Amino acid sequence: MRVPHLPLLAATGLLPILCLVACGEKNTFVAPPPLEVEVISPQIGPVTVYLEMPGRTVSYARAEVRARVKGFLEEVKFSPGKTVKKGEVLFTIEPEQFQASLATAKGQEAKALADLEIATTNYEKRKQASASGAVSAIDVAAAEAEMKAADALVKIAQAEVADADRDFGYTRIISPIDGRVSKSEVDVGNLVGADGATLLTTVVQDHPIFVEFEVNERDILKHLPMRRLKDEGEGAKEREAIPVRLTLSDGNTYPVEGQLDFLDNAVDPNTGTIRARAVFDNPEEALTSGLFVRVGIPLPRFAAADAKAIRVPAEVVQRDLGGSYVLVAGEGGRVERRPVETTGFREGSDQVLESGLTAEDQLIVSHLQKVRAGAVVVPKAKGETPAVAPAAEPAKAP
């Protein structure tokens, strides 16, 4: 009879024992601790909120400098882009022909004055002679007529002198306003004024500077009711000053606050907007005409002393099919979904809400992608040192 292999028997005999030992132990599950989140209290109170609209800067004044007499351009007396003063000479046109015309007109004036003097003397003599009967009344009347005709010729000659003097003055072309001059449109030696008033250059005044923009009719009705007129002295009435903020295309805010300068008297039915204009001091001429900017007008209803605007970080406001909402840590650290009504306005990085939160709410501002409504969290004020959560003890087998 063959004897079974001893090692195989030994291993086979141990199997039931190992199974019994294994079945006597239980799996250990360690529950994760509640998620620790940062919370803040919403800020409630007055806030400066701006209604923003796109706009363009426009020069306060712009003047075209043109040749007003015909002649050859003799000299350009400015450097392009430089600041010029009102009355400063920018161009000269060859003056010789105009000097000659002025001299001729003055000569004719002198002759007319001499003729008037002779006619006046003749009239006075004849008038005296008529008293003794030496000269008839007809001769006196004829002398008086000659004197009046000579006086009329003097007036004509004086007008011709004024015309010639004016044309001579036009050979020195001056800046009509203070401002910055552009480049010359005509080179020296060219004939100007032959086909009308030739454009020579332009001068723009950018201090102060205008910003033109348009306001939507809905925003006017909701946010910008026509400001009341107030008395300023004896019967004078003017619109209450409305401050305006300017944001440049690079995102920087212009350091000088402007004022609303003009609001049109009607809404354009084609666009549903009303034209408006603001004016800004621009002493350094940092702004120039044609810049794209954003105009901000503060909304009074948010800035009133009793306003209860709600400010929260913009990133905590979420949106789904049910609308806008935030997450708050409620009683026992349970997360609540809180619907909120937004205004569409911001102050810095904060979003301004109409309603939905109180100053006592604990607004969750961290782990927003991990937190879900109904979950339990450990709230801590933002900026506090995180607490060390105690490790959960594993459950032991009975």
CATH of the domain at 140: 1.10.287
One-letter amino acid for residue 284 of the chain:
E
DSSP string, 296-325: EEE-HHHHSTT--EEEEEGGG-EEETTEEE
pLDDT given for residue 238 in this prediction: 56
Backbone phi and psi for residue 339, each to the nearest 5 degrees, phi listed first: -65, 140
The burial class, CB within 10 Å (0-12 / 13-18 / 19+), for 231 is exposed
Question: Is residue 231, in this structure, part of any structural domain at all?
Answer: no
pLDDT given for residue 133 in this prediction: 78
Sign of CA dihedral 87, 90, 92, 93: negative
Question: Is residue 54, in this structure, part of any structural domain at all?
Answer: no
Question: Is residue 72, in this structure, part of any structural domain at all?
Answer: no
Using alpha carbons only, how large is the chain's radius of gyration in Å? 46
pTM of the model: 0.69
Contacts of 333 (CB under 8 A, 6+ apart): 34, 376, 377, 378, 379
CB 299 within 8 A of CB 336: no
Statement to judge: residues 120 and 158 lie in one domain: yes
d(Cα 213, Cα 211) in Å, to the nearest integer?
Answer: 7
Question: Is residue 159, in this structure, part of any structural domain at all?
Answer: yes
Angle between helices 137-169 and 96-131 (to 10 degrees): 160
| 142-195 per-position pLDDT tens digit | 989 999 999 999 999 999 999 999 999 999 999 999 999 999 999 999 999 988
Strand (E) or helix (H) holding 371: none
pLDDT given for residue 304 in this prediction: 79
Last residue of a domain, one of 280, 299, 318: 299
pLDDT given for residue 327 in this prediction: 96
Q: Which of 397, 396, 392 is nearest to 34 (CA)?
A: 392
Which domain, by its residues, includes 135?
95-170
End-to-end, the C-alpha distance of the chain in Å comes to 49
Strand (E) or helix (H) holding 341: strand 341-347
Question: Is residue 10, in this structure, part of any structural domain at all?
Answer: no
Backbone phi and psi for residue 350, each to the nearest 5 degrees, phi listed first: -95, 150
From first to last of the 398 residues of the chain, give the pLDDT tens digit.
444 554 444 445 544 544 444 555 556 667 678 999 999 999 999 998 889 999 999 999 999 999 999 999 999 999 999 999 999 999 999 999 999 999 999 999 999 999 999 999 999 888 888 888 787 888 889 989 999 999 999 999 999 999 999 999 999 999 999 999 999 999 999 999 988 889 999 999 999 999 999 999 888 887 776 553 334 444 445 556 789 999 999 999 999 999 998 888 889 999 999 999 999 999 999 999 999 999 999 888 888 777 888 999 999 999 999 899 999 999 999 999 999 999 888 888 899 999 999 999 999 999 999 999 999 999 999 876 655 444 444 444 44
Statement to judge: residues 271 and 311 lie in one domain: no
Measured from the Cβ of residue 278, the count of other Cβ atoms closer than 10 Å reads 26
For residue 352, list its beta bridge partners.
311
pLDDT given for residue 196 in this prediction: 81
Question: Is residue 83, in this structure, part of any structural domain at all?
Answer: no
In the numeric block, which tokens belong to residue 283?
A: 């002493």
Last residue of a domain, one of 299, 329, 352: 299
CATH of the domain at 260: 2.40.30.170
Structural domain count, the chain: 3
Statement to judge: residues 273 and 329 lie in one domain: no
Question: Is residue 397, in this structure, part of any structural domain at all?
Answer: no
CB 396 within 8 A of CB 46: no
d(Cα 243, Cα 278) in Å, to the nearest integer?
Answer: 9
Question: Is residue 395, in this structure, part of any structural domain at all?
Answer: no
Statement to judge: residues 352 and 318 lie in one domain: yes
Statement to judge: residues 245 and 311 lie in one domain: no
